[in-house]
Every structure is written in C-alpha cells, then in structure tokens.
Amino acid sequence: MGLSQALAAAVSGLHANQAGLSIVAGNVANANTPGYTRKTINQVAVADSGVNIGVRVGDVQRQLDAFVQKQLRSENAGASYADLRSSFYDQLQQIYGQPGADTSLDSIFNNFTSALQALSASPDDNSARIGVVSSAQLLAQQLNSMSQSVESLREGAESGIANAVGSANDLMKQISALNTQIAQSNQNDTSKATLMDQRDNAIDQLSQILDINVVPGLHDQVSVYTGSGLLLVGDKPATLSFDARGTLDANAQWSADPTKRGVGTITLTSPNGTPVDLIETKAIRSGQLAAYLQLRDQDLVQAQNQLDAIASSMASALSDKTTTGTPVTGPPAGFDIDIGSVLEGNTFNVSYTDKLTNTQRQITFVRVDDPSVLPLTDAATANSNDKVVGIDFSGGMASVWSQISNALSTTGIAASNPSGTTLHLVDDGTSRVTITNASTTTTVTSFGTGDAQLPLFLDQSAAYTGSFRSSGVQSQGFASRITVNAALIADPSKLVTYGTVTTAGDSTRPNFILSQLTGSSLTFNPNSGIGTVNSPYSGTLDGFMRKVIQFQSDAASTASTLKQGQDVVLSSLQQRFADNSSVNIDTEMSNLLDLQTAYAANARVMSAVKQMLDTLMNM
Amino acid sequence: MSVSYIGSMSSTMLQSILDMRSKLDDLQRQLGSGEKSTTYAGLGINTGVSLVMRSQLSALQSYDSTIANVGVRLSVAQQALTGADNLAHTIKTAAVQTDFTINQSGKTGEQTAASNALDQMLGLLNTQAGNRYLFSGSAVDQPSVVSSSVLMNGDATHAGFLQILDQRKQADLGADGLGRLDITRAGASVTVAEDAVSPFGLKISAVNSTLSGATVTGPGGPPASLNVDFTGTPTAGQQVAVDFTLPDGTEQTLTLTATTASPPGDNQFTIGATPTDTATSFEAALNTSIAKIGATTLTAASAMAAADNFFDTDSTHPPQRVDGPPYDSATGLVDGTSANTVQWYTGEDGPNSARTSVSAQIDPSMSVNYGMRANEEGLRNAVKNIAVFAAVSFTANDPNANDAYTALGSRVGAALDGPANQQKITDISAEIAGAQQAFDAAKTRHSQTSNMLTDLLQQVEGVSQDDVGAQILSLQTSLQASLQTTALLSKMSLVNYLSS
C-alpha cells in the first residue's frame, strides 16, 4: 500500500466522520421534533485486492421498531376513541347537574313532588297550587334544556365528524404525496429518511382519526386501508366526504335512506370513483370518527330517548284514563267497549285466554291517522306481551270496524259494531278463547271531566297522545317540547277542581298526580337502554328517573375508566417506541466524542503521511 | 390525555406528573366545596344510593312540612273544640238554674248568656287556620255555619230558627192550646181524642183508672182517643191517669183525682150528684190541666222538637218544617228547601264520615284523617241546645212561664249531656288528639331517619377534610419528588460534562 493510498483512506475517513457528524447534528437538532426518529449511518469498508483502501458512507438508517409502531397506531385509534367519548360523557354529565344541587334533574323532580305533597295537604291554598304549577314548569323547562343540551352535543359530534373528515383528507393527500416523493428518491439518504419520518407522522395522525391498517410495499411505498379493508391511500388518495347538517333535533337520525336522513353520512370515494357509505357498511370501527358516530347515533340518542321516556311517561301517566269495557254475559260472552273518544295514538285492547294452549294473550289496537306508518311493530308499545295492531282511522269508521274484525279473524274473537261507537267483542262461536278483559286507554284533554286525570303536560300546545306519524313518533324529542298546559298556568285551581262541584279541600286530584308520579308502576320504552324489549323496565316514574341518572353516570365513569386504561396502554407503547427511536442526547454526545477522536486520528494519519512524504521529498 | 414523546424525557413520567397534578387540583376542589364530585359519574357506584337518599330526604322534608302545616290546623281546632265544650258546659249549668227572672225581651239572664254563647259557638265553628275553615269538612273555603242572627231570624226568603220554633209551637199546641186534643162530653161520657194523625201535640199513650162507677176505654185509634163513661159515683181519692207522649219523646202523666170538694183543686174533679155532673167537672179539670201542660211542658217539648227539626240535618236529611199554613191544624212535616229555610251548616256534607273528608299523608304509608264538620253530632248537639235555650222567650204575666222555663231548662240541661252512646265534643277532641299523636310520632321518626340519611349522604357525597388534607399532603410529596427527579434527570446530560 502506497502513501497516497493511505492518504486517500484518511480522506475517506474524514468524509465518513463529517457525514457522521452531520447525522449527530441532525439528531441533536431534532431531538424534540414530533415524529422524528433517530438516524444512524452505515459505514462500509472499501477494500481492493484484499487491502483496505478506505471507508465509504452507507445508507442513513431510521431507528424504529416496526412491530411497536403498528401496535401504537392501533392503540392510537382506540385511545382517541376512548378519549373523545369520555370527554363528551363529561359534558353530558353536566346536564344532569351536581349531586344535590338545586338545578339537578332529581332535585327539580323532587321539588315537584314536594310541591304536590304540599298541595295535597292544602288543596285550597292558592299559593300551594301556584307552587305546583311553577315547579311543573321548572321540570318541563329542565327537560327542554337538557334535551337541547343533548342535541347540541350531537351537533358538536356532527361538526366534529366534519372536521375529522377534513383532517383525514389532508393527511391522506400528504401520505400520497410523500409516497410519490419517496419513490422518486433513489438513494437511502437523510432526505429520504426524513420524508419517511414525515409520512409516518401523517399516518400516526390519521390513525387517531380512524382505525387504519398500513401495508408496506416495494420501494418503501405504503398503502393505507381502513381497519375494515377499504383502501384509503394507494397510488392516489381516496376522498372522504361528509354532508354535515347545521342543526340537529331528536328526530334527526341516521338512515341508509337519504330522504329520511336527518344527519350527515360519511362517504369514501376511491380514486377510481366508487363511493362507499362508511356508516352503512360499518367500516369505521375506532378512532375519533367512530367515537363521534357512536356518540351522535347511539349514546346521545339514548340519552335523548331517556329524557323522552321520562317526559312522555309523565305526561301520559297523568292524562291517560283506562276504561274497562262492559262485560257481555252472553253466550257468546265478551266485552263491549266504546272507542268513540280514542284519540290518535290512544289504544284499546282485548285480553283473552287461548283455551288450546291455556295462555294469556293481549292485542293492543292503536289509533293511527297516518296510514303510511302501518303496520306497527309490537315494539310500538312498551308492553312486551302484546301484539300491536295499528288501525287506520283516516278512512272513516266503517273501515275501522272492518280492520278490527280482520285483525281478530284468526283469533276466535268476533268483533262487531252494534251501534254508535261501541265495539262488541265476543267469542266467535268456536269456543277457542275466553275473553278476560277489554279496555280503552284515552287521553283526557280537559280539566273538569270528573276524572282525576288531567292534561298537565302538553306537547307544545297539543295533547300528548303518543301518536305515530310519518314524521316520527310523538314521544321522540318530546322532552324538548314538553310544556305545562297554559290553561293551568292561567288557572291553577284546575289542579284541584276535577268535577263540576269539587270542594276546595278535596285532595283527590293532587293525590292522584302524586301517586302517578311516585307510586304507580309504569312500563318504560326499552329504547331508553333501560330494560329490554322482552322485559321492559317497570317501576315508578321517579325510580325510572333515578335509573336514568345512574345509567348515565355509570356510562360516564365507564367511559372515563376506559380512557384511563387506554392512556396507560398508549403511554407505555409510546415509551417502548421512544426507547428505540428517540434521540438520546447522551448517546449522541458520546458519538460526537467518537467522531471527534476519529476525525483527529484521520487528520493525524494525514499529517503523518504528509511528514513521511516530506521526508521522502527532502531525501 | 396521553402525551406524545418529548425528547429524552420519559413520557410515562410526564404522564404521571400530569395525572398527579390534575388529581391535586381535584383534591383542592374537594377541600373547598366539601363535595366528592361535581357530577354523578364521580360518585361511582354510590350514584344510586345518593339519588335514592336525596329523594327520600326530599320526601321526608315535604312530609315534615305537611306535619307542621296540618299540626297548626289541629292545634287551632283543638282550641276551638275546647272552647265549644266549655261553652256547652257553662250553658248546661245555667240551664238547670231554677231562678226565673226575665228581662224586657222576655228572657232570663241565663238565656241571654246562652245567646252570647251561641254567638261564640258559631264563631268557634267558623274558626280558620290560614284561610281554611276547619269545621267545613272538605269545603275548606266555605264558612262552616251561618251567623247567629241569620240562624235565628233568617232573612227575607229564608226561615230562621225562631220562625221554625213558632210554627212548630203552633202545630203542637193547636189553636186552643190543648196540644191538639179534642175534649168533648156527651152526657156522662167524656172523650179526649187527638185531632188527627200527626206528629204534633200530645199523644195519648196509655190510660189507667182506679175509678169505680166509670168505664174507661182507650187509647184507641188512630187517631188515639180515650173515653171515660161515668155510670155511677167514684169514691174520693180514686184516680184516672193519662200518659202523654210529648213531641220531644218525653212522657208526661196527667193524674186527675176524684174529690168531694167543690170547687176542686188542681188536677181534681168533683164527684157530682149524678154521673153527668161528675163528667162535667171531669171535663173542666181535663181542659184546665191539659191547657197547663200545653203552656208548660208541651211548649218546652215543642221547642226541643223544633230544634231537632231545624238542626238535625245533613246532605240526605233536609230541615223539617210544619206543613202549613195553617200551622195550628197541620198534620205533617215537609222538607225545608235551601230556597225557603236557613241551612245552618254550610260546609261540605258528603256521604263519607267527617273525619275522612280531609286527610294528610304524613308518611309514605301513613295517612291521617282529620276532617271535622260543624254538624257532627257532638257539635250539633251543643249548638242545637244552646240555640233552643236562647231562642224561647216568655211573657212576664204568664202564670205558666216559670214552669215552662223550668221544663225547657231541664230538657236543655239533659240534652246537653246527651245519652251515653252519643258523640260528645270531647270525643272529637280525642280523635284529633290521636291524629296529633300520630303526627308527633311521625315527626320524631322522620327526624331520626333524616339525620341518618343526611349522615349517610355526607359519607357518600361528601369528603372528610382530614382525608383530603392527608391525600393532598402525600400527593404533594410525591409530586415534588417526581418533579425534582425529573429536573435532576434533565440536568444529567453528557452535554454538561463535555469540556469544550
């Protein structure tokens, strides 16, 4: 090996040291840059004819654990989901109020029952009457405002989806653009590594928005799929679109049918132009988007349903009057009921024993004025043991009688209309059934009927009858519309006076209201999430209200626990990832020392060669 | 919120510092407010307990306010009842006084006192507790009774008690004052007959005779009559005793004794030379004696009957009036209507008992009935007898006035006591006292329960200052340690030790 060769080797060493130094400098400078991974550089010995003739700078390497990175991305989605859901639940908790505060739902309800209790003790006392009316108004207003809060949280989720979709589109474009740039750089140098860092960072951010699956390809390219397998970024980015709605109310629900949809839906348009509805295909399973969707379409809807169940049960418990039919001794035996005062949404029913199987059955007929909602499902009433038949009253009474007859034709009960609005229900002669009861449940719409029932709460200014219409069930969103009857506000004495002559001290009506609210067992619609279709929750109204608060508080603390768990998992994964990838200043400094020493050594070699050459020249 | 990785600092460490910091903030809030959480979610599994206890507490508070409210009513009612009972006692004592000195309006001092007592009694029955009439059943916004002047005098269209009293007196005494008896003689045969089948006047219930030489028959009928047919000569000292039933149900026996003296003394007849002479004297004695009964006991009994007619009313029993005019020959009673007769009780009068007309829920499972009506037997009896004693007036020159007054006074005195099984004012008082005891018991129970619930609620919702203080202290220590360690670690960089 000649001196010139040694000189060349020393120069290549200096080059390698400089390259190493620039990597160290880059690492130190980017120590706090998000998404930056520690870079290292490979040095390759160059040999010729078995003789080492220098060093060559190799590829710039990114230090990362691909397995941890994959896990981290999946947990990123889970953690964002849990985090977002928990923060919404925190906000939702606010509407139920602070425990024991005057503004909490249960305090306001308790105040209402206390006012009724006071009225029951002093029905003649005008201030007690006014007290009941004003506490009922407070309760109605509380339900209105809670319902509005729930809907504004849903609106928040709706706009959250819009923002998340926008960010996702940006990130997908970035990833795609970075893919292209990475493909173009054919050298594994620092700039390529930096591009890959940027791409990883974008993918990490995307993984917070929705659950994704990253598939590495040739030439450092990646394809990004949703967790469910739809392509988000391939050669080109796909586009997410979301038709956000500005305001939501309780009736605004997601539906696959665009004409019935009151909220936006997320559509994925792939580069080749096929749109896919991600909500319909349930393609989003985690991440912020999944949390927003869960909140908008499930959790908050459930909270709204619970408020609606409280409002509608309260209104109908006070206004609905059940009248048992007149027994017909026969034979054929049965019952006569008068369906003349059945309002839209009101019911009349027949209970009978099927003699063959000796089982008790019940058929509930519901008055429907909008035939487009027919047929009704059995879930139309909270009662789980009845068969529900909607009867269209819009076509006149003749049609009503024949609809009832047809509905009963296979049961062994003969229905007829002997006169007026009387429904005559008897055994049809085949002796298959024993009719055990028949009754009508009608909504009382005025105060002085002689009944203790009263229309205390109204749906804005209309009676709450639980009607079914194509625009929705009346109970849906009722919590946002419930009001105290204006006639009662104008004349609170109607809280006591139920007949033509009611003495001032007669507490029949106050006692009735009180017992309906706190003593009578009611059945609640299972769409509130409390109780199931087969065994709906039965209990007192105040008990149900407490169940609702407890349900929400449990849901909120579960969401919070889930979030804390996810945080721990995510932090530890981040720690593991960072252990491997992050810049450790100490390491860099010791590398720096190495490089300095090596540089000095290479320089020493050069100076030695120079001296030797000088010696040679001066000979 | 998890933190993204920052430089060489451990993210787990940062996370735990943040957690500690937020926990410290929360503890500080707890210390300030004394509340474990600002949301139900923060109460965790105790949410249900907290909600139920709050609702129980609220219910207890409303029951307690009912108890306080109704308790006042009951105390006021007790005072009124005690007052009414005292008045009844006073008048009972006054009524049996035999001193008969009447003033210009034809009444004794005791009667004037009774008139004042009636005013007070009606005032007591109209007692209100906070705009609420206590003796009107459930018609708590209606006065219970009319004023004493309306009760006595009525108005232009409504007959008052005085008018009823007068009409009844006419009907009982008849035009001739003989208690609606016709006394006739045909030769030696004397007949005493009721003038008609009617509820009025003297009713012959029995006749007993020890007379020799006279055939006594009767009472036949209806209408009842008796006949004394003198056939011979009775012996002096022999008697005929006729039992009369008076309109108020009391019995009066008229005993006529045969005497040889002429003229005969009171309740005596002279044995004449012939049966016809004896019969003539017997007839005269009958006329005199029955007229005296009419002016004394019958008048008093008639007044008592009139009082029953006027006061013993309820929703199904309207006041009874003599079917007239003419009243002195009336043969029956008719229902007084609200258009023509004063209804002295103006409260609610439903078919259920007075007590159940008003009730108060004082416990989830306990309801106390405390309704009272002024026309309950005990109160009605007091009002009725005080009113009748106050109403009857006398004339100074009437020789029978003193006897009539005594007859009235003894009747009123006896009636104010009433038979043993009749409701007394004290019975009402005792029943109300029972309700008051139930109230007190419930109140004590409630305060115990509510203390317990408040304690429990404090445990569930509240925090102990000591606990929180200790937690803050320990958290502070570990937070300080963490921060110090972090600071030390961040200083421990090779950079600091490289010489340039």
ipTM: 0.77
CB contacts under 8 A, A 476-505 vs B, are 503-505
DSSP 8-class letter at A173: H
- Evaluate whether A97 touches A229 at the Cβ level (below 8 Å): no
* Chain A residue nearest residue B500, CA to CA: A593
**pLDDT at residue B1 in the model:** 40
Q: Per-residue confidence at B500, pLDDT binned at 50, 70, 90?
A: low
Cβ contacts of A17 within 8 Å, gap of 6 or more: A595, A598, A599, A602
Residues of B in contact with A129 (CB under 8 A): none
**pLDDT at residue B4 in the model:** 46
User: What's the pLDDT tens digit per position in A492-515?
Assistant: 999 998 888 788 888 889 999 999
For residue B6, pLDDT over 50 is answered with no
**Residue A581: closest CA among A63, A32, A61:** A63
Query: Any chain B CB within 8 A of the CB of A389?
Result: no
* Chain B residue nearest residue A547, CA to CA: B48
**Euclidean distance between CA atoms A268 and A261, whole angstroms:** 18
Q: Give pTM, 2 decimals.
A: 0.82
Cβ contacts of A421 within 8 Å, gap of 6 or more: A338, A339, A340, A397
Do the chains contact at A83 and B43, CB–CB below 8 Å? no
Do the chains contact at B2 and A571, CB–CB below 8 Å? yes
Query: For chain A, give me the number of helices (H) and strands (E)?
Result: 13, 23
Do the chains contact at B62 and A117, CB–CB below 8 Å? yes
Measured CA distances, B357 to A535, B125, B351 (Å): 41, 16, 9
- Evaluate whether A93 touches A552 at the Cβ level (below 8 Å): yes
Do the chains contact at A503 and B137, CB–CB below 8 Å? yes
Query: Any chain B CB within 8 A of the CB of A508?
Result: no
For testing the chain B interface, which of A30, A122, A594 should be mutated: the one with the most B CBs within 10 Å?
A: A122
> What stretches of B330-396 show up as alpha helix (H) in DSSP?
377-391
Chain B closest-CA separation from residue A150 CA (Å):
16
Query: Any chain B CB within 8 A of the CB of A593?
Result: yes
Q: Per-residue confidence at B211, pLDDT binned at 50, 70, 90?
A: confident
Residues of B in contact with A114 (CB under 8 A): 58-59, 61-62, 65
Dihedral angle computed from the Cα positions of residues A406, A412, A415 and A418, in that order, rounded to the nearest 10 degrees: 140
Tokens 């609170």 -> residue: A492
Do the chains contact at A79 and B48, CB–CB below 8 Å? no
- The 10 Å Cβ neighbour count of residue B124 is 26
Do the chains contact at A121 and B66, CB–CB below 8 Å? yes
Do the chains contact at A83 and B493, CB–CB below 8 Å? no
Query: Any chain B CB within 8 A of the CB of A107?
Result: yes
DSSP string, B394-405: --TT-TTHHHHH
Q: Per-residue confidence at B499, pLDDT binned at 50, 70, 90?
A: low
Do the chains contact at A505 and B8, CB–CB below 8 Å? no
**pLDDT at residue A259 in the model:** 85
Query: Any chain B CB within 8 A of the CB of A349?
Result: no
Residues of A in contact with B6 (CB under 8 A): 32
Q: Which token pair is B423? A: 């409701």
Do the chains contact at A503 and B140, CB–CB below 8 Å? yes
Do the chains contact at B142 and A504, CB–CB below 8 Å? yes
* Chain A residue nearest residue B454, CA to CA: A100
pLDDT < 50: residue spans in chain A: none
Residues of A in contact with B47 (CB under 8 A): 99, 549-550, 553-554
Q: Which token pair is B36? A: 């474990």
Dihedral angle computed from the Cα positions of residues B297, B302, B304 and B306, in that order, rounded to the nearest 10 degrees: -170
- Evaluate whether B182 touches B175 at the Cβ level (below 8 Å): no
A433: left (phi over 0), alpha (psi -120 to 50) or beta: beta
**Euclidean distance between CA atoms A610 and B120, whole angstroms:** 139
Size of interface A-B (CB pairs under 8 A): 182
Map residue B196 onto helix, strand or coil: coil
User: What's the pLDDT tens digit per position in B14-25?
Assistant: 778 888 898 899
Chain A closest-CA separation from residue B66 CA (Å):
6
Do the chains contact at A549 and B40, CB–CB below 8 Å? yes
Do the chains contact at B66 and A114, CB–CB below 8 Å? no
For residue B468, pLDDT over 80 is answered with yes
User: What's the pLDDT tens digit per position in A544-556?
Assistant: 999 999 899 999 9
Do the chains contact at A557 and B44, CB–CB below 8 Å? yes
User: What's the pLDDT tens digit per position in B223-241?
Assistant: 888 888 888 888 888 888 9
**Euclidean distance between CA atoms B477 and A595, whole angstroms:** 43
For testing the chain A interface, which of B19, B22, B45, B58 should be mutated: the one with the most A CBs within 10 Å?
A: B58
**Euclidean distance between CA atoms A296 and A153, whole angstroms:** 8
**Euclidean distance between CA atoms A472 and A344, whole angstroms:** 13
**pLDDT at residue A177 in the model:** 93
- Evaluate whether B258 touches B238 at the Cβ level (below 8 Å): yes
Do the chains contact at B358 and A507, CB–CB below 8 Å? yes
**Euclidean distance between CA atoms A577 and A37, whole angstroms:** 10
Query: Any chain B CB within 8 A of the CB of A397?
Result: no
The dihedrals phi and psi of A583, each to the nearest 5 degrees, come to: -80, 125
For residue B3, pLDDT over 60 is answered with no
Query: For chain B, give me the number of helices (H) and strands (E)?
Result: 11, 12
Query: Any chain B CB within 8 A of the CB of A36?
Result: no
**Euclidean distance between CA atoms A438 and A363, whole angstroms:** 10
Residues of B in contact with A504 (CB under 8 A): 138-142
Cβ contacts of B380 within 8 Å, gap of 6 or more: B311, B312, B345, B374
> What stretches of A411-521 show up as alpha helix (H) in DSSP?
478-481, 486-490, 508-518
Residues of A in contact with B48 (CB under 8 A): 546, 550
**pLDDT at residue A273 in the model:** 79
